[in-house]
Structure 1
Amino acid sequence: MTHSESLQYAALRSRARANRFRHSSMAETSELVETDVFPNDVINYLMKIFVGTPPVERWAALDTGSDLIWFQCSPCPQCNPQNAPFFDPKSSSTYVSLPCNSTPCEALPYYYDAQGQLESPKCGTSNECTYYYTYADNTYTMGELANESISFEASDGGQAVAFPNTVFGCGHNNNATYGRSSTGLVGLAQGSLSLVSQMGNVGRKFSYCLPPFGHQSTSKLRFGEDATISGNGVVSTPLITRSDTNFYFLNLEAIVVGRRRVPLTSQSDGNIFIDSGTTLTKLPSSVYNQVEALVKQAIGADQLSFRNIYNHLCYKNASSIQNVPNFMVHFTGEAELSLNRQNLFRYFTSEDSMCFAMIPTEAGGMPVYGNVAHINFEVQYDLDRKKLSFAPAECTKQ
């Protein structure tokens, strides 16, 4: 895709993903577990992870909005182009296919086939579990479910931290365009197949710091007690779980633009979910319309005339956006976050136009707090205490 096409695809993914609504095979460890995070083009963030024995380095999309871990595997008759070779399960001594009657196979979600019929995971010719995992933006991965060793480099240069018998998808037919640097996806939601669920107690707390898109520096994704963020500026809000989904929900109470407060009518049971795999923030239409009008009034510059399905408020270039107003998001509790221009505007076309990084929901769509709003914040998920914490940070220096 061209740069412009990638930007528009990122916006489309944000819209689509927001519209859909312990078993542990990993060893317990008290060791420090962390890995590098890198901004991938303009769409998402990649994390470094190793798979197989001997371990093979992979960079895969970091996604708190899904569960399955999967990598593109050979043979791959339909795979996305990637810079690294496809993972070859025959080259790993720890790769084991999972049978159809295994617990992980039964944990796979049902899906709709091309005729709209609800289907369950299938059995292959040798009784292996074959999966079809879809995402709300119509991307998908198909392949074989297996056990494999997953590992992370030791931060002190010592022995790597390995988690054997991790359930993952070996994808042989994939349509999930995350850029050539990406080799798959690592789900960090709360389902039994996600990485955090399979890490035992280590995965009950994790944190990341997302650097701005366009920067070449990496930051860190941390697991366990080392993921704790502390000090001045840390604010927290309840992390809300639901029985009908594995997403991480929050209560967004209001948005303040300048001196005007725009409240949300629904403020209980989680009215927005936070997703590292979605680019743009999506707000209820009535709230978005008020917020957009206030931002437009504060900036005062002439906006671009095109208004399409991707963005509603765009300007010619960054220099057009001088009068960025005070912009605060208020979550339940003490969590009041101040967003700056990096969190509020994204380059949208090759002509350097910049667009508001928030869009309205469609009918029935679920609001989502996308990754542009996470930039230069440490974000900590504490699943045992059911708490999400934020702290402003320079993520390029993590």
Structure 2
Amino acid sequence: MAAADFGAVTILFVLIACHLAASAGVNSGFSANLIHRDSPNSPFSSKSFNKAFGRRRSMRPVFYPNSAQVRRDKGQYLMKLSIGNPPFDVYGIADTGSDLVWTQCVPCHGCYKQLNAKFDPDKSSTYSDLPCDAQECHAIGTGTCSPQHTCNYTYGYGGAELTQGVLAKETITITSTSGEATSLKDIVFGCGHNNTGTFNENEMGIVGLGGGALSLVSQLGPLVGGHKFSFCLMPFHTDPSIESKISFGEASLVSGEGVVSTPLVSKEDKTPYFVTVEGISVGDKLVPFSSSGNVSKGNMFMDTGTPPTLIPQDFYDRLVAEVKSQIPMTPVENYSSSGFQLCYKSKTNLKGPILTVHFQGGAGVRLLPKQTFIPPREEVFCFAMQNVTSDGGVYGNFAQSDFFISYDLESSVVFFKPTDCTKE
């Protein structure tokens, strides 16, 4: 989840569960469906969320062998987890830019408005507070000891979002498409009792999918054959009934024709998935990331929780100038309030240039206009990249759509395979 705030638009991922092996390390992995919030299968389908593009998303998890499905909703994705005994359904934002899995809990002293009931730990027979001396208490760097000797936490997201509460262990239950339920015991999560920010009423928390020790990816790794996962996100404005996919474990790695890869760059902060972008070509015209030609390793990170791609001001100015020069139309003025600064009027999909993102190692990822121009309003298409004042940037989910993107965290590589996600 990046630092810039884009509003609250939500997509519901329903991970439709798979069968997990009883013994850890044996299963080759599982897949889940990510269901769009406006899908008939979504509990929020009757609600309208035509707000500004938010930086968070949602997924609803489910497991079955080798692949998962995900559905898109105006730039956001939700994930469903059932926690506790009896199982309590939680719809949290799926976020590769953070680690902590948390939900709003009662009593909630300073919580944002939530449509569904909040999780009540007193009603679960499998809930247990994490003690102060537990190793996991300090895994996110903010664990402190309460007077009751439980592990309190504070976790922020770079903007107005903040969650505070108690770290705990719980059973997470995932139900397969055939109706079978699989329970995963002793998953560490945050029971949030004071949560603030620009969350909307359907977002019951966040499912952290980053590289840190407490992320769902890291906690599932020993159970699914390795720290590997992949997803295929629907493009903006895809029919919400069509599901995207997310997979965990050995079977999640992509292969075949068209696959390119780039190294993940290790930094002190283990949560973000850092990559190195050397430049972006607009048609045949290369726009280098840096005017000086010197590119810092790990200058961007991959984030499913941020819809637009965010790039430094100098790079953005040069890139936009080249994009404008290759579109024989006059831009629409006064759209900066939506966060987008380059927009065009068009009754059909904008016929803009193809952009190619050049990653370290020679990987070239070609982005079509449907991935680089999105319609925030009817008959208006805006360039889905924005400027930031920092030296680095964020590779957002608009640019990640219609690719099978696979992370091999053991080999520190991320793979891209151009894919029609509506057919996968």
Q: TM-score, normalising length from structure 2?
A: 0.79
Q: Distance in 1 between matches of 2:171 and 2:161?
A: 26
Match of 1:263 among 261, 283, 288: 288
| Counterpart position of 1:316 | 345
Alpha-carbon distance, 1:100 to partner: 2.2
Helix, strand or coil at the partner of 1:246 = coil
Counterpart code for 2:340:
N
What are the equivalent positions in structure 2 for 1:53-64 lying under 5 Å apart? 53-64=85-96
| Counterpart position of 2:181 | 160
Q: Distance in 2 between matches of 1:70 and 1:46?
A: 13
Alpha-carbon distance, 1:237 to partner: 1.2
Match of 1:42 among 74, 81, 94: 74
Q: 1:318 to 1:82 in 2, by over 3 A?
A: farther
| Counterpart position of 2:411 | 385
Q: Does residue 422 of structure 2 align to residue 396 of structure 1?
A: yes
Counterpart code for 1:49:
L
Alpha-carbon distance, 1:240 to partner: 1.6
Q: More deviation in 321-330 or 216-225?
A: 321-330
Counterpart code for 2:217:
V
Alpha-carbon distance, 1:39 to partner: 4.4
Alpha-carbon distance, 1:311 to partner: 2.3
Q: Distance in 1 between matches of 2:360 and 2:126?
A: 45
Match of 1:279 among 281, 302, 307: 307
Q: Does residue 144 of structure 2 align to residue 128 of structure 1?
A: no
Q: How many residue pairs get matched?
A: 364
Q: Does residue 396 of structure 2 align to residue 370 of structure 1?
A: yes
Larger relative contact order (Cα-Cα within 8 Å, sequence gap ≥ 6): 1
**Aligned CA-pair RMSD:** 2.5
Counterpart code for 2:172:
I
| Counterpart position of 2:249 | 224
Q: Distance in 1 between matches of 2:259 and 2:206?
A: 29
- Structure 2 gap segments, 5+ residues each: 10-22, 38-72
Q: 1:164 to 1:133 in 2, by over 3 A?
A: same
Q: Distance in 2 between matches of 1:242 and 1:218?
A: 34
Q: Does residue 135 of structure 2 align to residue 103 of structure 1?
A: yes
Q: After the TM superposition, which segments of 4 or more aligned residues of structure 1 sit over 4 Å from their partners?
A: 26-29
Cα shift readout 1:144-181 (whole Å, capped 9, x = no counterpart): 110011233346x3743432111100112212434333
Q: Would you say the 8 A contact 1:299–1:322 is kept in 2?
A: no
Q: More deviation in 299-308 or 135-144?
A: 299-308
| Counterpart position of 1:345 | 373
Q: 1:32 to 1:162 in 2, by over 3 A?
A: farther
Q: Distance in 2 between matches of 1:98 and 1:325?
A: 53
Counterpart code for 1:211:
M
Q: Would you say the 8 A contact 1:37–1:221 is kept in 2?
A: yes
Q: Distance in 2 between matches of 1:38 and 1:154?
A: 14
Cα shift readout 1:164-210 (whole Å, capped 9, x = no counterpart): 11110011221243433322111111111111121233351000111
What are the equivalent positions in structure 2 for 1:106-255 lying under 5 Å apart? 106-110=138-142, 121-154=143-176, 157=178, 159-201=180-222, 202=224, 204-214=227-237, 215-216=239-240, 217-255=242-280
Q: 1:365 to 1:251 in 2, by over 3 A?
A: closer
| Counterpart position of 1:359 | 386
Alpha-carbon distance, 1:243 to partner: 1.9
Alpha-carbon distance, 1:89 to partner: 1.4
Alpha-carbon distance, 1:140 to partner: 0.9
Counterpart code for 2:411:
R
Helix, strand or coil at the partner of 2:192 = strand
Alpha-carbon distance, 1:365 to partner: 4.4
Alpha-carbon distance, 1:284 to partner: 2.5
Q: Distance in 2 between matches of 1:326 and 1:170?
A: 45
What are the equivalent positions in structure 2 for 1:4-19 lying under 5 Å apart? 8-9=6-7
Q: Would you say the 8 A contact 1:77–1:172 is kept in 2?
A: yes
Percent identity of the aligned residues? 40
Cα shift readout 1:239-271 (whole Å, capped 9, x = no counterpart): 222124421111112211022111223445212
Cα shift readout 1:276-328 (whole Å, capped 9, x = no counterpart): 11111112222211210111122222212226372221223554x64311211
Say which structure is richer in helix. Answer: 1
| Counterpart position of 2:361 | 333
Q: Distance in 1 between matches of 2:236 and 2:88?
A: 26
Q: 1:318 to 1:172 in 2, by over 3 A?
A: farther
Q: Would you say the 8 A contact 1:235–1:335 is kept in 2?
A: yes
Helix, strand or coil at the partner of 2:218 = helix
Q: Distance in 2 between matches of 1:327 and 1:284?
A: 17
Q: Would you say the 8 A contact 1:39–1:210 is kept in 2?
A: no
Counterpart code for 1:139:
E
Match of 2:123 among 91, 94, 103: 91
Alpha-carbon distance, 1:45 to partner: 1.1
